[in-house]
Amino acid sequence: MAVDDRKVGVFMFLPAAAYIGLLIGAPLLLAVLYAFSDARIGTLGFHFVGLENFRSILQSPSFRAALRNSVVFTVSAQIIVIVASSILSIALEPAFHGRWFVRLLILLPWVAPISLGAIGWKWILDSIYSVITWVLVWAHIFKPYGAPMWLGEPTLAMASVVLVHSWRLIPFSTVIMLAGRTSIPKEIPEAAAIDGAGFWRTEFLINIPMMMPIINVAVLFGTIFTFTDMTVVYILTAGGPFDSTQVLPSLAFATGIQGSDLAAGAAISLFLVPVLILIAYFMLRAAHLAEVA
Amino acid sequence: MPGGDGRKIGTEALRYAVLAVFVVLLAFPFYWMLVATFKQNIDLYNVENNPFKFNLPPTLDHLKLLFNETRYVRWLGNTALVGVLVVFITLAFSLPAAYALARLTGRWGQRIGIAIFLTYLIPPTLLFIPLSRIVATLGLQDTIWSLVLVYPSFTIPFSVWLLMGFFKSIPRELEDAAMVDGLTRFGAFFRLVVPISISGILTVVIFTFTLVTQEFVYALTFISPESQQMVGVGIPIFLVRGDVYFWGSLMAACLITSLPIALLYNLFLDRFIAGFTVGAIK
C-alpha cells in the first residue's frame, strides 16, 4: 500500500517536474552555455569562445553603467518601499469605515499590470504636458517652459524610475507588513502601553523586532522584483538618456534581443545570478528557522 | 486619563492624514488616466489650461478611436485566450503535483516543495534569451502559442506551492475512509479532494489569469506582429505611431484594462500573500 502510494505520487508529480525542468532548467543551462559562446539570432549553430563575452562586456561603458544603476535602483527602491510601507501599514491596521475601499485604492499600483501603470506615469512625466510641471509653474517654482524634462535628464530620470518602481512595490510590501502586524499578539503592545511605553518605544522595541521575519520576506521579494525588472525602465526611458537608467535586465534585452547578440545578452543576464543565489540562501534559512520554531 | 481624549483625536487625525497622502500618491495615475480618457485633444494638449478641470466639454472620441481604429479588441481577445489556456494547463499539471507532494512523497514532499518555490525566484529576464531561441526553433515565434507554452513555467510552481498548503489542511482520514469504501487513490483525489478544494482551485485560476495579463518581458520578446499582441505589450508599444503618442486613447486603454484585473486580483490578494509569507507567520 505504502509502496504503491509512492509510485502513484511520483507519477502525479513527474509531469509538473518535467514541465519546470524543460522550461526553466533547460533555458537556465542554455543561458550559461550561450554566455560562453558566439550565439546570434538568425544563425543556429554556435561555437564556444571561452570568456570572450565577459571580457568585452566588462570593458563596455554601457555594462558598467548598468551594473551601477542596477545597484542604485534596487537599494534605493527597497529603502523607500520599506519606510513607506511601514508607515502605511501602521495607519491601515485599525478597522475603520470604508477601509476596504481605501485598501483597494492603495493596492491599485500592484494589482494593475505594471506596463500600463508605467505608461500612465509616462504621461504624468511628459516632457511638455506633465501635470507635475504644470503645478510647479502654477506655484511659481519654475517659469513657463523652464521646468526640467523629468525623463530627459540623467539624475531626474533615475529618480523617476526609482520612484515609479517604488510606487509599484509599496502596496505589495504594505500588505505583507499588515499580515505581520496582525499576527502580533495584542496583549504584548497593550502590556507595554500600560507600563508606560509610548508610540515610538512600542514600535521600535516591540512591534518592529517582532515583525522582523516578515519584514525580511518583504525585503527579499522586493529585491528580486526590483533587481530583475526591466518593464519600468523599458517603458519610461528605454535605458536613456545616455544609459543613465540602463539596468542589467534592460541592457540584456537591448543587446541580446534587439541587438541580436544572444551570447552577450546571456552573459549580461548571468550577472543577476549571484544576487538571486544570495536571496535563495536567505529564504531557505528563513524557511528552516520557521520549521525549527 | 486626563488629556487622553485630545491626544487620541490627534493620533486619529494624523492617521487619516497619512492615509490620505498615500491614497493620493498611489491612486493618482489611475485618476489621471480617467481624466485623459474623456478630454478633448485641444484641451489635453494646451499647457495654458488647468489640467485638473475640463476646460472643454468631455468627449468620447478617444474611446471610439481605441475600439474602432486600433487592434485593442483583438489584443483583449488574445489575452483572454492565452489566459484561459494557461489556466487549464496550470491546473492539469499543478493539481496532481501538489497532491503528491502534500500526501504521497513523505518527507521529501516538503523539500521538493521548497525547491519548486525557489524556481519561482528565477526571473524571466534571465531566461528570455535562451527561451526566444527555443520558441523560434519550435516555430512558435510571433504567435500567442509561444506564451501558452512558456507562461505555465512560472504559474505552475506558485500554484503547486499554494495548492500544497491547501491540500495539507484537508484531513487525511477523509480519503482513507473513501479508499476503505473501495475508491482508488486517483478516485479519492478526483472525486473527493478536488471538489472540496474548489476555493483553492479558484485562487489558482485567478492568480494564473492575472499573472498572464501582467506579464511583459516574454510577450515583448517572443511576439512582433501587431495583431498577435497581448494587452500588456500592445497598449504601451503599439498605440504609439512613430513618436506620436495618442495619450487619450492610450490612457483609456490602460484604465479599462487595469480596473477589472485589479478588482479580480484584489479579491484574492490575501491568499496570495499567505502563499508568499508561509513560514514567516504562524
User: Best residue in A20, A232, A260 to probe B by mutation, most B CBs within 10 Å?
Assistant: A20
Q: How many CB atoms lie within 10 A of CB A278?
A: 12
Close Cβ partners of B264 (under 8 Å, ≥ 6 residues apart) = B206, B209, B210
Which residue type, as a one-letter code, is found at position B170? Answer: I
Contact A230, A253 (CB under 8 A): yes
Where in chain B are all domains bearing CATH 1.10.3720.10? Answer: 73-233+250-277
The least confident of A25-29, B88-92, B103-107, B153-157 is B103-107
Q: First-to-last CA distance in chain A?
A: 33
Q: What is the pLDDT of residues A251-275, one digit of tens each?
A: 999 998 998 888 999 999 999 999 9
Mean pLDDT of the region B227-236: 90
In terms of Cβ atoms closer than 10 Å to its own Cβ (0-12, 13-18, 19+), residue A238 is middle
Strand partners, B240: B245
Q: Do A234 and B265 touch (CB under 8 A)?
A: no
B240 sits in which H/E element? strand B240-241
Please tell me if residue B122 touches chain A, with a CB cutoff of 8 Å: yes
Residue A36 lies in a domain: no
Is residue A39 scored above 90 in pLDDT? no
Interface contact flag, B28 A128, Cβ < 8 Å: no
Please check whether residue B97 is in contact with residue B89, taking contact to mean a CB–CB distance below 8 angstroms: no
- Cβ neighbours for B54, distance < 8 A, ≥ 6 positions apart: B38, B39, B43
CA–CA min distance B141, chain A (Å):
12
Interatomic CA distance for residues B212 and B85, integer angstroms: 10
Mapped onto helix, strand or coil, the DSSP state of residue A48 is: strand
User: What dihedral do alpha carbons B155, B159, B161, B166 form, nearest 10°?
Assistant: 170
The mean per-residue pLDDT over the stretch B91-116 comes to 84
Residue A23 forms part of a structural domain: no
* Whole-angstrom distance, CA of residue A175 vs CA of residue A107: 9
**Where is pLDDT greater, at A59 or B11?**
A59
- Mean predicted lDDT score pLDDT of chain A: 88
- Give me the residue from A31, A108, A126 closest to B129, CB to CB: A31
* DSSP symbols for B139-201: T-TTSTHHHHHHTHHHHHHHHHHHHHHHHHTS-HHHHHHHHHTT--HHHHIIIIIHHHTHHHH
pLDDT at B219 over 90: yes
Q: Is A42 an interface residue toward B (CB < 8 Å)?
A: no
With CB atoms and an 8 Å threshold, state whether A6 touches B93.
Answer: no
Read off the pTM.
0.89
**Cis peptide bond upstream of A241, omega within 30:** yes
Nearest to B236 among A44, A115, A175 (CB): A115
Nearest-by-CA chain B residue for A34:
B130
Distance from CA of A80 to the nearest CA of B (A): 13
Q: Is A21 domain-assigned? A: no
CA angle, B239 as apex, B228 and B87 as ends, to 5°? Answer: 40
- Do B84 and B150 contact (CB within 8 A), yes or no? no
Q: In the beta sheet, which residues pair with residue A48?
A: A37
Q: Does B82 touch chain A (CB under 8 A)?
A: no
Considering its fold, how many domains does chain A have in total? 1
Position A290 scores a pLDDT of 59
Mean pLDDT, to the nearest integer, of A189-195?
Answer: 83
Looking at residue A291, its pLDDT comes to 56
Q: Which CATH number fits domain B73-233+250-277: 2.40.50.140, 1.10.3720.10, 3.30.450.30, 1.20.120.530?
A: 1.10.3720.10
Per-residue pLDDT tens digits for A207-225 = 888 888 888 888 988 999 9
- Side chain identity at residue A26, one-letter code: A
In the three-class reduction of DSSP (H, G, I as helix; E, B as strand; rest coil), residue B245 is classed as: strand
d(CA A279, CA A285): 10
How many whole angstroms separate alpha carbon B75 and alpha carbon B219? 12
Residue A35 belongs to a domain: no
ipTM for the assembly = 0.88
Task: Look at residue A273 and tell me if it is in a domain.
Answer: yes
Could you identify the residue written with the cell 487592434? Answer: B71
B254 — contact with chain A (CB < 8 Å)? yes
Chain A residues 166-185 with a CB less than 8 Å from chain B? 167, 170-171, 175-176, 179-180, 183
Q: How far is CA A215 from CA A147, B120, B153, B238, B245, in A?
A: 38, 20, 28, 39, 40
User: For the segment B138-162, what is each residue's pLDDT rounded down to a tens digit?
Assistant: 999 999 999 999 999 999 998 998 8
A65 in a structural domain: yes
Whether the Cβ atoms of residue A291 and residue A63 lie closer than 8 Å to each other: no
Over pLDDT 90: what percentage of chain B?
40
Q: Which domain holds residue A185?
A: 57-292
Looking at beta carbons, which residues of chain A come within 8 Å of B125?
228-230, 248-249, 252-253, 269, 272
Confidence grade of residue A80 (pLDDT, cut at 50, 70, 90): very high
- Between B133 and B120, the more confident residue is B133
Does residue A24 lie within any of the structural domains?
no
CB contact under 8 A, A106 and B23: yes
Q: What is the mean pLDDT of residues B213-221?
A: 93
Which cell numbers hold the place of A265?
A: 545578452
Q: In Å, what is the CA distance from B237 to each residue of A189, B35, B109, B243?
A: 51, 21, 43, 11
- pLDDT tens digits, B61-87: 889 988 988 899 999 999 999 999 999
* CATH number of A275's domain: 1.10.3720.10
B76, burial (CB in 10 Å: exposed 0-12, middle 13-18, buried 19+): middle
Given a contact cutoff of 8 angstroms between Cβ atoms, the answer to whether B236 and A234 are in contact is: no
Encoded amino acid at B201, one letter: I
Q: Which residues of B touch A119 (CB under 8 A)?
A: 235-236, 250, 254
Alpha-carbon gap: B136 to the closest alpha carbon of chain A (Å): 10
Contact criterion met (CB < 8 Å) for A115 and B233: yes
A31–B127 C-beta distance less than 8 A: yes
Question: Within an 8 Å CB–CB cutoff, is residue A252 touching chain B?
Answer: yes
pLDDT of B1 strictly over 50 = no
B23 or B44, which is more confident = B23
Report the residue from A13, A34, A87 with minimal CB separation from B101: A13
In which band, very low, low, confident or very high, does the pLDDT at B282 lie, cut at 50, 70 and 90? very low
**Pick from A126, A269, A290: CB nearest B125:** A269
In-domain check, residue A37: no
- Contact (Cβ atoms closer than 8 angstroms) between residue B38 and residue B53: no
* Interface membership of B269 toward A (CB under 8 Å): yes
Q: Residue A123: which of B27, B36, B116 has the nearest Cβ?
A: B36
Residue A191: all three cell numbers together: 502590556
d(CA B221, CA B108) in angstroms, rounded, equals 37
